[in-house]
Amino acid sequence: MTDLIEIKHLQKQYGNHEVLKDINLSVKDGEVVTIIGPSGSGKSTLLRCINLLEEPTDGELLFKGDNILSPGYNLPKYRAHVGMVFQQFNLFENHDVLNNCIVGQVKVLKRSREEAERIAIENLDKVGMKDFAHAKPSQLSGGQKQRVAIARAISMDPEVMLFDEPTSALDPEMVGEVLKIMRELTGTGLTMIIVTHEMAFAEEVSDRVIFMDQGVVAEEGAPEKIFQHPEQARTKEFLQRILEG
Ligand SMILES: Nc1ncnc2c1ncn2[C@@H]1O[C@H](COP(=O)(O)OP(=O)(O)OP(=O)(O)O)[C@@H](O)[C@H]1O
């Protein structure tokens, strides 16, 4: 597997607050990487830097070997390759489910409406939401909204999907239906970077787990290593705290 994304010495500051400190990380094509860590450790900020919702203060971000932060890089094209699923769904409330999955395809990828609709229906079917194609987001449960958000993102044929705590805003009984869809996606060869507090899920689906603490990658490795044999004291403490609930 080749590196799809390479992050070198990435830093992000808000005023004097250094949220990300010298992050180095690479993600291979087809890899499923989960990012875990305490609240405030910078997990979401890292994800938002990867798709440039936040501009890094310093460092390099390479996509297929090209630094996307260098002047002249085609950012709209890069963004079209990177799908994102947010904690709060971020669906277009005034559009129905189908249109939510069509708009980006037509506007950004310049697909015909017919083709976009066919792809949208196919993906809504995959997430079990085809029958809701003409519903408005306000008529859906949180779990259903998140499944639509996933269908919308995959309809753009992304090369990498970023998930920012996709189940954190859900009622507990809806978490499973969203994890199920994500689990299915991990079997398709799609590169995925997932920020999550669902430890059992992270252990099950990840090729690699990144443990972040206070703005650095404190430890990384195979899920078995991180969850069963963590080396760093702070990884052990974090996992202990989570297990004690
Ligand atoms: N736009 C912003 N302006 C100022 N500070 C910010 C901004 N976004 C994030 N921060 C700060 O950066 C730090 C890291 O936040 P981030 O959301 O990345 O953490 P996290 O690890 O994802 O936490 P959680 O698990 O609670 O979502 C926090 O202290 C937060 O207050």
**What is the ipTM for the molecules in this complex?**
0.95
User: Which strands form 216-221's sheet, in the order they lie side by side?
Assistant: 82-85, 160-164, 191-195, 32-36, 208-213, 216-221
pLDDT at 1: 61
Residue range 55-67, pLDDT digits in tens: 999 999 999 999 9
Any idea what the CATH number is for the domain that residue 126 is in? 3.40.50.300
Q: In this structure, are residues 54 and 48 in contact, taking their beta carbons and an 8 Å threshold?
A: yes
Here the tokens at position 173 are 């009984």
State how far the Cα of 44 lies from the Cα of 239, in Å rounded to an integer: 19
Average pLDDT of the chain is 95
Q: Which H or E element spans position 34? A: strand 32-36
Our answer on whether the CB atom of 40 is closer than 6 Å to any ligand 1 atom is: yes
Our answer on whether the CB atom of 39 is closer than 6 Å to any ligand 1 atom is: yes
Q: Which H or E element spans position 84? A: strand 82-85
Number of domains in the chain: 1
Q: Which backbone phi and psi does 101 adopt, to 5 degrees?
A: -90, -5
How far, CA to CA in Å, does 116 sit from each of 105, 124, 133, 137?
6, 12, 13, 19
Here the tokens at position 88 are 């709060």
Our answer on whether the CB atom of 43 is closer than 6 Å to any ligand 1 atom is: yes
Residue 74 makes CB contacts below 8 A (sequence gap 6+) with: none
Tens-binned pLDDT, residue by residue, of the chain (245 aa): 679 999 999 999 999 999 999 999 999 999 999 999 999 999 999 999 999 999 999 999 999 999 999 888 888 889 989 999 999 999 999 999 999 999 999 999 999 999 999 999 999 999 999 999 999 999 999 999 999 999 999 999 999 999 999 999 999 999 999 999 999 999 899 999 999 999 999 999 999 999 999 999 999 999 999 999 999 999 999 999 988 87
Mutate to test the pocket of ligand 1, among 11, 45, 168 (most ligand atoms within 8 A of CB): 45
High-pLDDT (> 90) share of the chain, %: 93
Show the domain range for 136: 1-46+53-242
